[in-house]
């Protein structure tokens, strides 16, 4: 099968070599598409690779009927409508590590250019002026750098600024006193940082909570003469408020790599001599571009060839050692859901999943997603996948609960899935048998043992002599071969279950023939 990959922003040619070397990948590079052209073209593609320029909107995603993955060669995914991607079952991956160093170095270059007015002095010299008085700067040594957002880039900036003998005070919702002590920096609230800093640099993502984090009120809290750096995202600073803070002399200077609107030809902040700027160049180094492109290409190849991706954004990522433990159960979990949904025709309200034995102390969220995927597939088709399974269940008002118990009732591992509807509760349990793969070992309260694969026939009947014989001859009349057979009952002469696996899909008339047997209550066929 050939996969079509569209690259709609400029990516490093060296970085996309893994894609070029992979089999069955048809790569189209077109970085000049208008949004309208892209919306038409996107239907042909299985994967879309972007940087920050392509706007992957809900509307675009709604046209992307074949799209399976969006790869962001970089960190920020604010140009991608993640909710829409999740709803459409499209996985979004990014490359969170490849450009950290470049962005941190660019931030330091901006701080130093700002403190010594290098761009302004250079411009003046280019205009044939030798002006030494106008471009007197300030030292960084012993000044306080306030860092808002101490993630990958913020932390790298902190280490580098310490090398400039600056004092650092940072705020990040995940920064603890111990971590700050270990790094040799101070920590406080956002307000603390704003009040003490001589330079403020931002390294958060653009989120609802960080939009206009630096606004009119924030500028009021700052020291007079503070200098501001933003190499994270436009929109975290309210540009209008910054403009007034600079013209009122509250802020002595600003270095901006990112803007509320990008790209732009006109931004009034650039008319101010106190402002220096670059056109979103934080990640623009040969090294970073190669690394981020390599990382997303590997994830695109992994997804399209059925492997696990490393940097999912709209799915929690699972560390390698945990994944190794639970991956063998993925198939069992999905089959349990797929089988169970056939046991009821009523609307499911609640799903309880019980993990026990070896699964007691591992992260089981990916297994839950697979189980729910299996449950929903019958009615929603292949549109359901790991990415949107929980979202689609939640949208239908289905409650999902995970439970864990250490003991697995005679098995080394056991997954029991129970669904509740308005009037009934049905369940199925399965285990992974060492060397033998997945087995279903219980259907409601009946003990069984079969591999969840192929054509399974579940027959509820009265426990009475001759039923099995009638069944066998009816199937042989229709030329249906029985591969395996199991019987269990609640009590002698009471309700019983017969589980068959047969060698072909059973047609409607064949099913009707089985149902016509007097002692049979119902027959159900599941093709797993
Ligand atoms: N200019 C560029 O070219 C360029 C290059 C790379 C990254 N970036 C941007 O830099 C930013 C940071 O990237 P990163 O790789 O360090 O990400 P990261 O996820 O490692 O770090 C972000 C940090 O921000 C913190 N945070 C979230 N909300 C916050 C809030 N309200 N206040 C304070 N901290 C908050 C998070 O806890 C996290 O530690 C992103 O916006 C990214 O898009 C820009
Ligand atoms: O979030 C990022 O990774 C940076 O902003 C880089 O964006 P770019 O890939 O458009 O340079």
CB 73 within 8 A of CB 49: yes
Spell out the long-range contacts of 184-188 with Cβ–Cβ below 8 A and sequence spacing 24 or more: 185/147, 185/158
Ligand 2: residues within 6 Å at CB? 51-52, 74-76, 99, 280, 282-284
**263 prior amide bond cis, ω within 30:** yes
* Ligand (nearest to CA of 72): 2
CA distance 135 to 276: 14
Pocket mutation for ligand 2, best pick of 110, 259, 280, 294 (most atoms within 8 Å of C-beta): 280
Assigned CATH class of 315-432: alpha beta
The full length of the chain comes to 528
* pLDDT tens digits, 236-274: 999 999 999 999 999 999 999 999 999 998 999 999 999
CA distance 296 to 96: 10
User: What end-to-end distance do the CA atoms of the chain give, in Å?
Assistant: 23
pTM for this entry:
0.81
**Would you say residue 166 has pLDDT above 80?**
yes
| pLDDT computed for residue 113 by the predictor | 98
Q: How far is the CA of 271 from the centre of ligand 2 (A)?
A: 25
Return the active site residues: 233, 262, 280
Q: CA-CA distances (angstroms) from residue 353 to 140, 143, 409, 439?
A: 57, 56, 16, 16
Q: What is the DSSP letter of 143?
A: P
CA distance 46 to 305: 12
Best CA proximity match to 308, nearest among 91, 44, 524: 91
Nearest residue by C-alpha to atom 19 in ligand 1: 151
- Which two three-digit tokens encode residue 30? 């077109």
Superfamily name and number for 3-95+287-304: NAD(P)-binding Rossmann-like Domain (3.40.50.720)
CA distance 452 to 435: 15
| pLDDT computed for residue 345 by the predictor | 83
Nearest residue by C-alpha to atom 10 in ligand 2: 52
Q: How far is the CA of 5 from the centre of ligand 2 (A)?
A: 20
| pLDDT computed for residue 236 by the predictor | 97
| pLDDT computed for residue 174 by the predictor | 81
- Give the domain ranges of the chain: 3-95+287-304, 100-277, 315-432, 454-528
* Ligand (nearest to CA of 292): 2
Best CA proximity match to 387, nearest among 51, 6, 67, 39: 67
* pLDDT tens digits, 432-458: 998 789 999 999 999 999 999 999 999
Assigned CATH class of 454-528: alpha beta
* Ligand (nearest to CA of 97): 1
CA distance 86 to 92: 8
| pLDDT computed for residue 275 by the predictor | 98
* pLDDT tens digits, 48-85: 999 999 999 999 999 999 999 999 999 999 999 998 99
**Would you say residue 490 has pLDDT above 90?**
no
Q: Which residue matches tokens 């070029």? A: 20
CB 270 within 8 A of CB 296: no
Q: Which residue matches tokens 């979202």? A: 391
Best CA proximity match to 385, nearest among 454, 315, 326, 440: 315
* pLDDT tens digits, 471-485: 888 888 888 999 888
Q: How far is the CA of 465 from the centre of ligand 1 (A)?
A: 71
Q: Which atom of ligand 1 is nearest to the CA of 155?
A: 16
Q: How far is the CA of 283 from the centre of ligand 2 (A)?
A: 6
**What percentage of the chain carries pLDDT values higher than 90?**
77
Pocket mutation for ligand 1, best pick of 109, 147, 172, 193 (most atoms within 8 Å of C-beta): 172
**Do the domains 3-95+287-304 and 315-432 sit in the same CATH topology, yes or no?**
no
Identify the H or E element spanning 428.
Answer: strand 425-433
ipTM above 0.90, yes or no: yes
Superfamily name and number for 100-277: NAD(P)-binding Rossmann-like Domain (3.40.50.720)
CB 91 within 8 A of CB 83: no
| Strand 91-94, strand 69-72: pairing | parallel
Ligand 1: residues within 6 Å at CB? 75-76, 96, 99-100, 103, 148-154, 171-174, 203-206, 209-210, 231-233, 257-258, 280, 282-283
């Amino acid at each position: 099968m050939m996969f079509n990959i569209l690259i709609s922003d400029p990516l490093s040619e060296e970085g996309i070599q893994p894609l070029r070397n992979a089999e069955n990948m048809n790569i189209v590079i077109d970085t000049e598409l208008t949004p309208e052209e892209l919306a038409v073209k996107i239907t042909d593609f299985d994967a879309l690779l972007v940087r920050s320029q392509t706007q992957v909107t809900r509307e675009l995603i709604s046209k992307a009927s074949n799209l399976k993955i969006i790869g962001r060669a970089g960190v920020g995914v604010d140009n991608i409508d993640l909710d829409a991607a999740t709803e459409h079952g499209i996985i979004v991956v990014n490359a969170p590590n490849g450009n950290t160093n470049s962005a941190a170095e660019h931030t330091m270059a901006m701080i130093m250019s700002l403190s010594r007015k290098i761009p302004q002095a250079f411009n003046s010299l280019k205009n044939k002026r030798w002006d030494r008085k106008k471009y007197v700067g300030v030292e960084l040594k012993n000044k306080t750098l306030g860092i808002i957002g101490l993630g990958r880039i913020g932390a790298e900036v902190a280490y580098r600024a310490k090398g400039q003998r600056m004092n650092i005070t940072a705020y990040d919702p995940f920064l603890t006193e111990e971590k700050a002590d270990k790094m040799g920096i101070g920590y406080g609230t956002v307000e603390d940082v704003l009040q003490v800093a001589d330079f403020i640099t931002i390294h958060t993502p653009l989120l609802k909570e960080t939009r206009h984090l630096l606004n009119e009120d924030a500028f009021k809290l700052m020291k007079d003469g503070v200098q501001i750096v933003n190499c994270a995202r436009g929109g975290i600073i309210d540009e209008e408020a910054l403009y007034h803070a600079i013209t009122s002399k509250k802020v002595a200077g600003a270095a901006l790599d990112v803007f509320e609107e990008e790209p732009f030809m006109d931004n009034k902040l650039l008319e101010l001599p106190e402002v220096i700027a670059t056109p979103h160049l934080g990640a623009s180094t040969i090294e970073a571009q190669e690394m981020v492109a390599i990382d997303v290409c590997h994830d695109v190849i992994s997804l399209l060839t059925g492997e696990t991706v490393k940097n999912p954004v709209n799915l929690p990522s699972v560390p390698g050692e945990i994944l190794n433990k639970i991956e063998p159960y993925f198939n069992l979990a999905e089959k349990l859901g797929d089988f169970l949904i056939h046991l009821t025709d009523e609307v499911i309200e609640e799903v309880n999943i019980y993990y026990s034995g070896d699964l007691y102390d591992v992260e089981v969220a990916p297994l839950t997603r697979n189980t729910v995927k299996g449950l929903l597939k019958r009615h929603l088709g292949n549109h359901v996948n790991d990415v949107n399974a929980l979202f689609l269940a939640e949208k239908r008002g289905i409650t999902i609960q995970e439970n864990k118990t250490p003991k697995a009732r005679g098995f080394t591992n056991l997954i029991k899935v129970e669904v509740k509807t308005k009037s009934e509760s049905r369940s199925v349990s399965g285990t992974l048998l060492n060397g033998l793969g997945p087995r279903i070992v219980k259907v409601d309260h009946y003990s069984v043992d079969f591999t969840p694969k192929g054509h399974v026939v579940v027959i509820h009947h009265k426990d009475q002599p001759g039923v099995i014989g009638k069944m066998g001859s009816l199937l042989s009349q229709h030329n249906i071969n029985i591969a395996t057979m199991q019987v269990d009952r609640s009590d002698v002469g009471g309700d019983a279950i017969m589980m068959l696996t047969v060698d072909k899909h059973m047609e409607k008339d064949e099913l009707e023939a089985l149902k016509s047997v007097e002692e049979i209550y119902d027959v159900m066929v599941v093709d797993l």
